[in-house]
């Protein structure tokens, strides 16, 4: 007797983390429904192009069991109206801790898509903040396996922002992902993922936070030599700005 397959909704940017999760799911007997929420960022065309290429690579991979649906593109105009509770929670968090504002519109979308997967991995800023203000609990989802959700005892602001997501990569690092890609013959997919926020001549810039993260998490080979040189220069500037001399000069100039 045929049974309806489990459908898994997931945010997919074409980046390393969310692509890793899509690949994980592709090895299960499920239906994957991916969503791309636009914010008109510079790298959007690169991300969409990566998603289309990776979709075909996954569909043609010999270990694929899942049905991977075409990406659902949600424009800025199509995004749900901002919930004041979510926005106020974010503003209170941001007043004390840096947190990207994408979590506001992702949380708004999750109100109608409870349990949608958010691919934030081990050691990232959101994970650290949630752990500091409460924590996670493990859940087992039929047909998928273990995932994590924000514990209801977590601070209300963090629960308002992250409480409707499923967070399956909580205990996975980027190097764990790289090992998986290599061991299971997904290197072509790994190399197709896009991560840079501010590409230069169609290549990663080396200066934005995701590019810096790639280098600092042990995957510098993903940048060419020009990007690596920009990375090194950016780090030197960061180091100089942290010196007492720079801080004193800045203080004097702002008197």
Q: Is the pLDDT reported for residue 1 higher than 60?
A: no
Q: 206-217 pLDDT, tens per residue?
A: 999 899 988 988
**243 domain-assigned:** yes
**Across all residues in the chain, what is the average pLDDT?**
93
Low-confidence winner among 3-7, 122-126, 229-233 (lowest mean pLDDT): 3-7
Q: Is the pLDDT reported for residue 173 higher than 60?
A: yes
Q: 6-58 pLDDT, tens per residue?
A: 999 999 999 999 999 999 999 999 999 999 999 998 999 999 999 999 999 99
**175 domain-assigned:** no
Domain range for 235 is 199-253
Q: Is the pLDDT reported for residue 2 higher than 60?
A: no
Q: 219-231 pLDDT, tens per residue?
A: 899 999 999 999 9
Question: Number of folded domains in the chain?
Answer: 2
Q: Which residue has the higher pLDDT, 39 or 1?
A: 39
**Residue 146 sits in the same domain as residue 205:** no
**179 domain-assigned:** no
Cβ atoms of residues 148 and 170 within 8 Å: yes
Q: 151-163 pLDDT, tens per residue?
A: 999 999 999 999 9
**178 domain-assigned:** no
**Residue 31 sits in the same domain as residue 147:** yes
Cβ atoms of residues 116 and 166 within 8 Å: yes
**pTM attached to this predicted model:** 0.89
**Residue 129 sits in the same domain as residue 22:** yes
**167 domain-assigned:** no
**Residue 15 sits in the same domain as residue 137:** yes
**Residue 19 sits in the same domain as residue 89:** yes
**Residue 61 sits in the same domain as residue 130:** yes
**Residue 134 sits in the same domain as residue 10:** yes
* Predicted local distance difference test score (pLDDT) of residue 254: 66
Q: Which residue has the higher pLDDT, 92 or 175?
A: 92
**190 domain-assigned:** no
pLDDT band at 244 (very low <50, low <70, confident <90, very high): confident
* Predicted local distance difference test score (pLDDT) of residue 255: 61
């Amino acid at each position: 007797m045929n049974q309806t397959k489990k459908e898994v909704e997931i945010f997919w940017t074409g980046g390393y983390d969310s692509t890793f999760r899509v690949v994980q799911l592709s090895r299960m007997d499920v239906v994957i429904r991916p969503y791309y929420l636009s914010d008109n960022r510079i790298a959007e065309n690169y991300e969409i192009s990566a998603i289309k290429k990776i979709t075909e690579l996954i569909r043609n991979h010999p270990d694929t069991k899942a049905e991977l649906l075409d990406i659902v593109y949600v424009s800025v105009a199509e995004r749900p109206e901002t919930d004041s509770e979510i926005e106020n929670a974010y503003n209170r968090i941001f007043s004390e801790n840096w947190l990207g504002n994408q979590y506001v519109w992702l949380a708004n979308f999750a109100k109608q898509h409870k349990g949608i997967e958010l691919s934030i991995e081990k050691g990232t800023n959101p994970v650290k903040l949630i752990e500091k203000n409460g924590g996670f609990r493990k859940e087992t989802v039929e047909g998928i396996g273990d995932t994590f959700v924000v514990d209801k005892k977590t601070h209300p602001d963090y629960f308002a922002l992250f409480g409707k997501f499923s967070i399956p990569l909580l205990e996975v690092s980027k190097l764990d992902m790289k090992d998986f890609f290599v061991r299971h013959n997904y290197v072509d997919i790994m190399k197709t993922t896009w991560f840079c926020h501010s590409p230069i001549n169609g290549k990663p810039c080396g200066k934005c936070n995701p590019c810096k993260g790639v280098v600092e998490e042990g995957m510098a080979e993903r940048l060419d030599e020009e990007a690596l040189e920009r990375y090194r220069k950016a780090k030197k500037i960061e180091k100089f700005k942290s010196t007492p001399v720079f801080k004193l000069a800045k203080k004097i100039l702002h008197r």
